[in-house]
Amino acid sequence: MAVRRVIVFVLLLWVVSMAAHAAPILDAGDDEIRLTDFPVGYLIDNSQSLTYQEVREKTYNTMNSKGTLGTGASVTWHRIALKNPGLEKKVLFLHLPAAFQVRAIEIYQERSQGLVGRAEIDLNDASGNPLMHRGTIVYPFTVPAGETTIFYIRSNLYSHQWFEAEIYDDKHSRQALVGGHLDIALMVGMMLALVFYNGLLYFATSKKENMLYSFYLISGVVWIALSYGLLAKAFNIYGDGVFILNLSVFTMPFFLVLFMMVIFETREFYVTEHRILNGLLALLVAGFCYGLFDIEGALIPASSLAALMMVVTFSVSLSILRKGHPLAKFFLVGHSFFVVFNGFAVLFYKGLIEPNYLNSHGVGIGIVLEAITLAFIISYRIKVLEDIRAQQDELKRQAATDPLTQLYNRRYFMAEAKSMAERATVLGQPLSVIALDIDHFKSVNDTYGHHAGDLVLKAVADNLQKFSRAKDLIARFGGEEFMILLPGADHSEAESCAERIREGVENHAVQAGDDVSIRVTVSLGVAQVSSATESVEDAANRADKALYAAKTGGRNRVCSAA
């Protein structure tokens, strides 16, 4: 009894095993036909020479109607059996949506052991083929009532064997051809927007990372649009001419590695990691150059190279994070998306895992998520650089500014005056200088204190800015002495400006506390720079002598240098 049970169990296992490897029979008895997920028989033709008559007698393995067999299966036969148990014939359409990726397709339609239909499509010459619809092969056929139609499909691909088959009635066939690729269009649109944005940033800042990031995005856009059929659907292009664009699988990681080198400054601060990344770059360049001559051969190890690239870049960024780089943690977040989703895709392309949307679109999803994160890194880096630049500008401003009056100091004045004098000489414009000193300033400090003296100095500085022109260069030379350089002003205009300042200061009262109002006057000396014969410093000395003359002449007046 026990032996009989064992025999029955073994027979059941054998029956199940045979059923699993038998060609599938799909029920098309429903009024509406929309079959997108069903078992398909497949046979790898290693000799690449099997004929239709020969493959009819072969045993087929089973795969899903949408899947990949990886490399090493460039020529594969697929078998689909479709039975119509109804009382009326079915008019149906066989869709091959991944046809844009193949080199050639042959379709043999068999019924009652006889060939009833045949089609051959060479993708290099398919633009005018009536079966080709924007990258999808659509083969119309009928299944008479109570009969079975069997398809033998010979798929000749370039490198990775990708197969996808769908069965539709007329209504669903039209819907399938009209719809689709919206998700890919959204991916491409987002990345093109980032390309445009970073192109503008590059022209505004001349930062290499913006250009490298844009090239990375462009490579990703090309690969996504090519691999997921957007180029075929939008522009109706396929075959050998467009297949060369698969070289983007090498340029994409190439620009990503260069981007890492720039943002992490590996050449200067992370020598070991820089050498490792250089080694990876050498492999990518070698693969790209090889692909220029043999793109099919170059793509065979591309999945393994992609896996190596992900391991190396992730390890390097992790090492840089441990060494304290502030951007490494953000890069790791984005690169983790890339590594995880591309890991699924690599396993899928090698035929090691079952197909689903996440696996088949893993590269595109990973690229988009990483691209968004890298855009944040660029924005964060720009913010950091702007903060550093602002700090440097503030330090420069402090070094060039008098802290009390916020006017320029003597050192900045003399340096800037030299360039302004050279500009005036080239343009043939006049240039004048005014020297100014507060009258009896020591008595203000002695009478009201140094705090009141500081308030007077600030008030005089405000009047200098108020009554001079926006383009004039004003500086505090020290103590109660000020100097003004007036570009484009001759001696007469400079005298008028000096008089306005004198009157403004004289009419202004400085409030130094409760019921304390201080009025001061200033003395001024004016000199026009003779640019052909003297420097600004020489003219300032003459203005200073004129100022001394105003002091000795009674103060609160303007004197001009000879």
Q: DSSP readout, 280-293?
A: HHHHHHHHHHHHHH
- pLDDT given at position 350: 65
Contact 61, 21 (CB under 8 A): yes
Measured CA to CA, the distance from residue 470 to residue 292 in angstroms comes to: 62
pLDDT grade, residue 53 (50/70/90)? Answer: very high
pLDDT of the residue at 116:
92
> For all residues of the chain together, what is the average pLDDT?
83
Q: What pLDDT was estimated at residue 31?
A: 64
Q: What is the pLDDT of residues 225-253, one digit of tens each?
A: 887 878 888 787 888 778 888 888 899 88
* Residue 10: pLDDT over 50: no
For the chain, the straight-line distance linking the first and the last C-alpha, in angstroms and rounded, comes to 135
Of 219, 201, 222, 221, which Cα lies nearest the Cα of 210? 201
pLDDT tens readout for residues 384-420: 767 777 777 777 777 778 888 888 888 888 888 888 8
Alpha-carbon span 155 to 163, nearest angstrom: 8
CATH 2.60.40.2380 for domain 21-178: yes
Kindly list the domain boundaries of the chain, sorted by start residue: 21-178, 182-394, 408-560
Dist CA 262 CA 280 (whole Å):
15
The pLDDT assigned to 351 comes to 64
User: When comparing pLDDT for 205 and 511, which is higher?
Assistant: 511
Strands 161-164 and 166-168, by their bridges, are unpaired
DSSP 72: S
Alpha carbon distance 34, 63 (integer Å): 19
Q: pTM for the full model? A: 0.62
Whether residue 275 has pLDDT greater than 90: yes
Taking 70 as the threshold, does the pLDDT of residue 559 lie above it? Answer: yes
Using the CB atoms, write b or e for 24-47: b if 16+ within 10 Å.
bebebeeeebebeebbbbbbbbee
CATH topology of domain 408-560: Alpha-Beta Plaits (3.30.70)
